[in-house]
Structure 1
Amino acid sequence: MFDPTAFDNIKVVIEGEIYDRDLDGEIKVVDRNDWINAAKLSRKYEISFTVSGYNDQEIAAIMTLEAGLENLSAELLGTGAGDHLAGCIVGISFSLLHKNEIQVFQSIQDRLEEIWGSDREIIQSIHLPPLAENQWIRNVASVSFNRLVYEEQIDDLTNMIDYMAESLSKLKKIIE
């Protein structure tokens, strides 16, 4: 038997919380990925959901957990000096389908800053089909925390699911 890493423990709690909310009908899980990169000894977990009743092709939230070799080795070796690396990176993003209009982008930015705080880095990236005649684009708005998250902060991560659902509700009003 092995002792699970911080990444494993955080992943299990987050996944359980999201699937419990899916079973309760509050949200709908639409995708899940769990990658292991054997070349770089890193892991990445991603789970996507939307609010029940929403079209996941139009709007969805994605939570990502990542841990690299330095995170794993700091935890497993436990040398003390590297303990501050024994966590994982958490990312939040929102996939939105909307018209390519500057006021929509600004409204999305304002809402996300309102919910997540203006001290968070929020970056919007668009995917635009260049030959399409319509004005619809795919926008991925990412919220970055620019720090590691540790097992002691698992309760904060489960609260983030509430903020993600709230974000979806407010963003849905903008893109309608």
Structure 2
Amino acid sequence: MFDPTVFENLKVVAEGAFYDLDLDGELAVIDRHDLVDLAHMSRKFEIIARLNADKEKDVECTFTLSASMSAFAEEKLIAFTKRNPGCTLKFMFRFINPEHPLRIIHILKQTWDKGHQYRVLKHMPIGHNRDETYVTIEIEREKLIYEEDVSLLQTYVQQIQHILSAGM
């Protein structure tokens, strides 16, 4: 048996929060990825959710929690490094044909504090099927999230559910 890492503990909390909302019918988890990158010795957990399982829904969110090799090393050598190991947290909202992506950014900035970076990408297929245009809004937390931030992690999941239900 081994001691779970900070990444594992945070992943279990986030995954549980998403699946609790899924069981309650408040959102639908439509995909998940639990990846180990052996080339970079890192971990990444992604869970993708929509308001419901309907593929035609206009908005979905990808929640990403990741940890690098340095975070694992810091955790194992915590007595020597005096640094608190943590994980990177990122959200990606995908909107089909949003009317006002900058208004959505403004609402998201009001939801979360100033410690986040925002990026907007517009995806427009070239050719016949221009109806598949969508906008991706990426939000990355500037600070690492730590094991003692479990309640903050649960709050993020609840806020994601609120954003999905609002449909923005």
Aligned partner of 1:92 in structure 2 is 91
Displacement of 1:120 after TM fit? Answer: 2.7
TM-score (norm 1): 0.86
Superposed displacement of residue 82, structure 1:
4.9
- What is the letter of the counterpart of residue 28 of structure 1? A
| Native 8 Å contact 2:40 2:69 kept in 1 | yes
1:118-137 to 2 correspondence within 5 Å? Answer: 118-132=114-128, 134=130, 136-137=132-133
Match of 1:68?
68
- Letter of the aligned partner of 1:94 in structure 2? F
TM-score by length of 2: 0.89
Q: Which whole-Å deviations, capped at 9, do the CAs of 1:7-46 have from their partners, x for residues lacking one?
A: 0000011111111111111110011011101111101000
- The 1:24/1:11 distance shift into structure 2, 3 A limit, reads same
Task: Tell me the residue number matched to 2:23.
Answer: 23
Once superposed, what is the RMSD of the aligned Cα atoms?
Answer: 2.0
Unmatched segments (≥5 aa) in structure 1: none
Contact 2:86 2:144 in 1 (8 A): yes
Identity of aligned residues (%): 29
- Could you say what secondary structure the match of 1:47 adopts? strand
Q: Is the 1:115–1:167 contact (alpha carbons within 8 Å) kept by the matching residues of 2? A: no
Bigger strand share: 1
The residue that corresponds to 2:156 in the other structure is 160
CA distance in 2 between partners of 1:95 and 1:104 (Å): 13
Compared with structure 1, are the counterparts of its residues 61 and 88 closer, same or farther at alpha carbon in structure 2 (3 Å cutoff)?
Answer: same
Give the Cα–Cα distance (whole angstroms) in 2 for the partners of residues 153 and 56 of structure 1. 34
Structure 2 matches for 1:26-45, cutoff 5 A? Answer: 26-45=26-45
Q: Which runs of 5+ in 2 are unaligned?
A: none
1:4 and 2:4 correspond: yes
Cα gap change, 1:126 to 1:120, in 2 (>3 Å) = same
In the alignment, what sits opposite 1:138?
134
- 1:41 maps to a residue whose letter is M
